[in-house]
């Protein structure tokens, strides 16, 4: 079921991407994904598979196939892209292990006439399209929220994502900028949680004994519940933890709210951005004029919208927005 983004007003929906004229029923689209080890990536893959399968059933495209590398390695993903070229795919949508290390393989695809649309983990190759949220702003907003809730400041713990990935670097840069502008806070510890609850819990548990009192935890998604469990196991007070839209951490948040009035916020890119990438690729194959860079808002859950988000998020999954063809046309029109 599609939740239409707030930015998609009636005027935007009325403006279709111009110039589309080609028949895409014989076109084949592949997803190249570098990592599937958390609930966000699983929801992303599921969204792509469901949207792609429906598009195939309806004759919009001939194939929509998903491939995930066994390791989060740019060399392995580059080989995967080269294999997709050999298999004759017309378009590749790409969640990249690196913004730059895959550029050679992406250029090979472009030179072979393959459309490449990167999303979430984007690439910088000029021939590729990019769909992303402002991850730096997402990191900075966490600190600004903590400043509004904890004006006297204090010590923060930062939980980062996968080392070396564009998303991790951008969110971290935003957090650093937020702390620089709100110097009542100090980051006293930093660990990599790999966007996974179990990894985050173990990493936080390992560093807590060496940390002073912590008033807040800034995160990247998939790590908030693990952090909460680590603090609980250590017998320490639960700090204000910014969450990342995962069902288990939102459930924990609701339980804490009901028990003791716990209040926080949650934000992340919607895993359904894969469906937007699919439709953008389809529109490019269809002859539409599409700007190289498209931006979508991150999905935020507040104290007021928590119950609604929980009600619509399956157990073990992530709060999501699934994009339709009309949504994609509106995003394209907005960018133009």
Confidence (pLDDT) at 165? 84
5: left (phi over 0), alpha (psi -120 to 50) or beta: beta
| Pairing of β 185-192 and β 216-218 | unpaired
What burial class does residue 105 get, using C-beta atoms within 10 Å of its C-beta: 0-12 exposed, 13-18 middle, 19+ buried?
buried
Confidence (pLDDT) at 10? 30
Confidence (pLDDT) at 320? 95
Domain 10-133+269-299+319-335 of CATH type 3.30.1450.10? no
Confidence (pLDDT) at 16? 37
9: pLDDT confidence band, cut at 50, 70 and 90?
A: very low
112: pLDDT confidence band, cut at 50, 70 and 90?
A: very high
> Among the listed ranges 18-27, 137-146, 216-225, 255-264, which one has the minimum average pLDDT value?
18-27
| Pairing of β 266-268 and β 299-301 | antiparallel
Q: Which residue has the higher pLDDT, 19 or 107?
A: 107
Confidence (pLDDT) at 37? 86
22: pLDDT confidence band, cut at 50, 70 and 90?
A: low
What fold, for 135-268?
Answer: Rossmann fold (3.40.50)
As a whole number of Å, the CA-based R_g of the chain is 20
| Whole-angstrom distance, CA of residue 323 vs CA of residue 252 | 28
Q: Which residue has the higher pLDDT, 83 or 14?
A: 83
| Whole-angstrom distance, CA of residue 331 vs CA of residue 329 | 6
- What average pLDDT does this structure show over 190-199? 94
Confidence (pLDDT) at 72? 83
Confidence (pLDDT) at 69? 93
Confidence (pLDDT) at 3? 39
Question: Is the distance from CB of 333 to CB of 327 less than 8 angstroms?
Answer: no
Q: Which residues pair with 267 in a beta bridge?
A: 300
Domain ranges of the chain: 10-133+269-299+319-335, 135-268
12: pLDDT confidence band, cut at 50, 70 and 90?
A: very low
| Whole-angstrom distance, CA of residue 166 vs CA of residue 146 | 24
| Whole-angstrom distance, CA of residue 278 vs CA of residue 94 | 10
pLDDT digits (tens, 9 = 90+) for 228-251: 999 999 999 999 999 999 999 999
Q: Could you tell me the strand order of the sheet in which 240-241 lies? A: 185-192, 154-160, 216-218, 240-241
| Whole-angstrom distance, CA of residue 121 vs CA of residue 76 | 15
pLDDT digits (tens, 9 = 90+) for 263-318: 999 999 999 999 999 999 999 999 999 999 999 989 999 999 999 999 999 999 99
Q: Which of 17, 3, 7, 2 is nearest to 281 (CA)?
A: 17
pLDDT(15) > 60: no
- What average pLDDT does this structure show over 187-213? 96
Confidence (pLDDT) at 329? 95
In the three-class reduction of DSSP (H, G, I as helix; E, B as strand; rest coil), residue 292 is classed as coil
pLDDT(11) > 80: no
């Amino acid at each position: 079921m599609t939740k239409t983004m707030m930015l998609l007003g009636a005027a935007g929906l009325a403006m279709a991407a111009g110039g589309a004229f080609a028949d895409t029923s014989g076109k084949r689209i592949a997803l190249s994904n570098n990592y599937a080890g958390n609930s966000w990536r699983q929801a992303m893959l599921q969204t792509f598979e469901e949207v792609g399968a429906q598009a195939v059933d309806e004759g919009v495209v001939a194939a929509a196939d998903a491939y995930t590398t066994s390791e989060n390695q740019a060399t392995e993903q580059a080989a995967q892209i080269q294999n997709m070229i050999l298999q004759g795919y017309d378009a590749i949508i790409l969640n990249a292990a690196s913004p730059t290390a895959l550029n050679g393989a992406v250029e090979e695809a472009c030179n072979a006439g393959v459309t490449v649309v990167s999303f979430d983990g984007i690439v910088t190759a000029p021939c590729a399209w990019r769909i992303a949220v402002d991850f730096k702003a997402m990191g900075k907003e966490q600190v600004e929220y903590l400043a509004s809730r904890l004006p006297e400041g204090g010590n923060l713990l930062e939980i980062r994502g996968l080392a070396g990935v564009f998303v991790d670097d951008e969110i971290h840069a935003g957090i650093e900028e937020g702390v620089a502008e709100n110097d009542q806070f100090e980051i006293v510890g930093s660990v990599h949680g790999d966007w996974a609850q179990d990894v985050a819990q173990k990493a936080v548990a390992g560093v807590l004994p060496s940390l002073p009192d912590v008033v807040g935890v800034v995160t990247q998604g998939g790590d908030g519940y693990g952090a909460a469990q680590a603090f609980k196991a250590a017998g320490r007070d639960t700090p204000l933890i910014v969450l990342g839209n995962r069902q288990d951490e939102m459930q924990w948040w609701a339980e804490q709210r009901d028990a003791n009035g716990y209040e926080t916020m949650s934000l992340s890119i919607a895993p359904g951005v894969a469906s937007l990438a699919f439709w953008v690729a389809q529109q490019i194959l269809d002859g539409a004029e599409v700007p190289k860079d498209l931006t979508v808002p991150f999905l935020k859950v507040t104290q007021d919208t928590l119950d609604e988000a929980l009600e619509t998020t399956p157990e073990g999954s992530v709060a999501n927005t699934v994009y339709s063809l009309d949504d994609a046309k509106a995003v394209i029109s907005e960018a133009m």
